[in-house]
Amino acid sequence: QSLFSQFNTELFMVFSKRIIFIYTTLILFPIFLGIIVFTSNLQKEQIENVKRENELYLQENIQNINSYIDSFAQLESAANANDDFMLFLINRNNELSLEEIDTLKKESKVLSRLLLVIPDIYALRLFIDNDYIPESWPVIINSKRFDVSSINKWEFNFVADFMGNFNQYMDKSVCLTKPFAYKGNKIGNIQISMKMEDFFSFAYEKISPNINNYIFKVENQELIPITNDKINAINTPLTESEIALLSLFYNDNKSNSSSFKIHTSKGQTIFSYEYIPRMGIAIFTGFNLTTLNHQFLWSKCVATILLCLTGFLFYFVIRFATMRLMNRVFVLMNGLKEVGKGNLD
């Protein structure tokens, strides 16, 4: 009887533990799986939101750049609008009288006032090929003063060293230099400049510690950084290998705009870019996901800890309920066995 009782007790304990384990697993496993699926979907959704916001921010900056390019074109058209003055610059073949020099100075001031209409423009210069036209600084300059063939149509971080004591024109600028003509007759070259920090204002401000902006000149499918000390101080500089990786993704996409995710020295980063054909440059905006990923990792850890605590609580609740239930079942079973033996007590 004692052995039978001991056997029943051991059987009761083993069976009860299995029931407790099964019930606990059936309750906790779906919860755990739900937490994993929920946090993963939430992380993907957040990353998609970051991507969309990154692209919107980039589009705003691209729109500003295109508006500045339009302003350059408007200023060029305005400078070419005075027919009499344009013919004067082309056809002059002798020395100017004092009256003509005064007229030249007045026209130079008119051109200078155009900058008041488009205040973002930093400087306007006409390099005149005609040696009979005297200089009227800072607008009308003889072509021999500066070799325009030594620079590209678009120059960045350009400093007008030839301006001498005009220190207000020594800031680094985005500079457009192109032939200047009137009805097919070449006058010289026009040069329009805008300060780098105005043209690429987004690269000179930090709206978020996670966002970095980069400007690249695109040549032969290669990305060449356009930067300076101020830009590097605000935006985390990219290594050569990271630039090479961006070039690889840029060339593979075969699109003027796109987004992709890569790993940099600062962690996983979403890059959005757009190519500006009129300037031959590409603007990249990178959002570092390290902080976001850490937040989700921390959330998963907290959820796991809470799940473990909940598991312990469930275990004891289920254990208490199961032990009471199984105890009654085994009492009933033992009673039935006794009845079967003829013991009706």
Tens-digit pLDDT profile for residues 255-296: 888 999 888 877 889 999 999 999 999 999 999 998 777 776
Place of tokens 């600028």: 173
- DSSP of 101-150: HHHHHHHHHHHHHHHHHSTT--EEEEEE--TTS--BTTTEEEGGGS-GGG
Question: At 165, is the secondary structure helix, strand, or coil?
Answer: coil
Q: How far apart are CA 341 and CA 338, in angstroms?
A: 5
- 98-117 vs 83-91: helix axis angle to the nearest 10? 130
Q: What pLDDT is attached to residue 1? A: 46
In the chain, which residues have pLDDT < 70? 1-17, 19-20, 23-24, 165-168, 296, 314-315, 318-319, 321-345
Tens-digit pLDDT profile for residues 228-260: 999 999 999 999 999 999 999 998 887 888 999
State the greatest distance between any 2 C-alpha atoms of the chain, in Å, as a whole number: 143
Both tokens assigned to 157: 């971080």
List the end-to-end C-alpha distance of the chain, in Å, as a whole number.
Answer: 17
Burial level of 301, CB count in 10 A (0-12/13-18/19+)?
exposed
Beta pairing class for 257-264 and 222-225: unpaired
Q: What pLDDT is attached to residue 29? A: 75
Tens-digit pLDDT profile for residues 124-149: 999 999 888 998 888 999 999 999 99
Burial level of 165, CB count in 10 A (0-12/13-18/19+)?
exposed
